[in-house]
Amino acid sequence: MTSPVVSIADMLTNPDQTLKRAREQGPAVETEIGTLVVQHAAVRAIAQSDKLRPSFSRVLERFGVSSGAFYDWMSISPLDMEGDEHRVWRQLMLRTFTPKSVEKLRTFIRDEAERLIDTFLPLGQCEFIDSYARKLPSAGLCELIGVPHQDRERFAGWADTIGLGFNVIVLPTRIHDVDAALVKMLAYADELIQARRVEPKDDLVTRLAQAVNEDQGISEDTIRASIAGLVFAGHETTKNQLGWMVAVLSEVPEEWDRVAREPARAANVIEEVLRFRSTATSIGRLALEDVEIGGVRIAADSTVIASLWSANRDAAEFPRPDEIAVDENRAGVQVAFGQGAHHCLGAALARAELQESLVALAQRMHCPKLEPGAEFLPPIGINGPTRLPISFTARV
């Protein structure tokens, strides 16, 4: 298949229009960093195929990062695991990340949301990321996996910096900061492991601390890296998605107000927000052999980037792809959390935090207005608002 070239510069300038033009050309196009898969069916096929494996470390190498704490961490992380190694790791994690355990957290999450809203509601304005989005995910994470509450601020700053490692445009200029933050996060994970071995509790950190088994490929380094990864991912990705939730819904006040009247609608609204603008923009895969998947011919040992943003705007799957249309687009399958064996482990927790946050915010305030000064990460890798000033009026 001969594919036209899409420039990363075009992606940065106007990602939605660039991806739309790419979809019109076929299932995939070529970029400076490899094949970019853009059509919904092809993205799902790539994500579900056992002919490809995760390749985030390969992507890092293409951007000049081939050593250091962040590179080493990614090389043994679930983002680069496959086969039996990944299955053993995921089965261990799923003992805590169950729908039942997350449902038990909803009351806690809602109470924490209400507490945070109380701190800024009387002001009629706030910088939403710092006032709410950085704090709510940390609370849910602490409660679910067993991170002490007093450590929230301790790891939130590290997680913010480590998040830059997943944005390959920013990473080359900030790699030293990312490495330094990760070293501190890994040391923190060591502290948690040792504390749970002395005083076990009924939480995921304890189970991980007790799970070292070299015969199964679960080493001390893997456990430490996994705990650091959970602390990071549970904070950073949901923080960004909460910011997107408010930014996106500020443009559709009718949906915001409807959730205030009909809280049960929040679940469908959040799915549409995830489709319309997800924190994760893409996933990377490495071809294990020459193969054709989803209409895309891929040579062995080549890198493939599957665009989640593009798949979620494909008119072949969603009748109104470029609009927030909760009911009309509901029949389509959004891929914000990925697909297949590497579907996001924390998806249920993220959904619970987003849904409970939306209901609490919508019932306490009228639809917020975005104020000047909003700042966003570049639209590649992990993406979201870094500053989101809003104003609002409280509901009486």
Dihedral sign of CA atoms 208, 211, 212, 216 in order = negative
Tokens of 243: 């910011």
For 185-204, what is each residue's pLDDT tens digit? Answer: 999 989 988 999 899 988 88
Q: What's the number of domains the chain is made of?
A: 1
Distance CA 243, CA 173 (A): 24
| Confidence check: pLDDT of 215 > 70 | no
Determine the number of helices (DSSP H) and then strands (DSSP E) in the chain: 17, 12
pLDDT in tens, 35-58: 999 999 999 999 999 898 887 888
User: Is residue 1 included in any domain, yes or no?
Assistant: no
Residue 2 counted as domain residue: no
User: Residue 177 is inside which H or E element, if any?
Assistant: helix 171-198
Asked whether the predicted pLDDT for residue 23 surpasses 80, the reply is yes
Please report which confidence band the pLDDT of residue 34 belongs to, taking 50, 70 and 90 as the band edges: confident
Q: Judge whether 219 and 159 are in contact, CB under 8 Å.
A: no
In a domain, 396, yes or no: no
Q: Which of 96-100, 271-275, 376-380 has the highest mean pLDDT?
A: 271-275
d(CA 49, CA 89): 19
Question: Can you give the pLDDT at residue 217?
Answer: 58
- DSSP code for 376: E
More confident residue, 95 or 184: 184
Show Cβ contacts of residue 54 under 8 Å, excluding neighbours closer than 6 positions.
78, 79, 80, 81, 82, 283, 284, 285, 286, 342
Q: Report pLDDT for 1.
A: 44
Residue 315 lies in a domain: yes
The predicted-structure confidence for 121-152, as pLDDT tens digits, reads as follows 999 999 999 999 999 998 888 888 888 888 88
**Mean pLDDT, to the nearest integer, of 97-115?**
90
- 106 domain-assigned: yes
14 domain residue, yes or no: yes
What percentage of residues in the chain have a pLDDT greater than 90? Answer: 55
Closest residue by Cα to residue 303 from 58, 12, 4, 94: 58
Report whether 36 contacts 11 (CB < 8 A): no
CA-wise closest residue to 310 among 298, 299, 322: 322
| 2 pLDDT above the threshold of 60 | no
Domain that holds residue 342: 8-391
Compute the mean pLDDT over every residue in the chain, rounded to the nearest whole number.
Answer: 89
Task: Evaluate if residue 245 carries a pLDDT over 80.
Answer: yes
Cβ contacts of 104 within 8 Å, gap of 6 or more: none
**What are the tens digits of pLDDT across the range 328-372?**
999 999 999 988 767 788 888 899 999 999 999 999 999 999 999
The answer to whether residue 136 sits within a structural domain is yes
- Specify the DSSP element, H or E, that contains 292: strand 291-293
Residue 167 lies in a domain: yes
Q: Who wins on pLDDT, 318 or 2?
A: 318
- What is the model's pLDDT at position 214? 56
For residue 67, the domain's CATH number is: 1.10.630.10
Q: Is the confidence at residue 312, as pLDDT, over 80?
A: yes
- Model-level pTM? 0.91
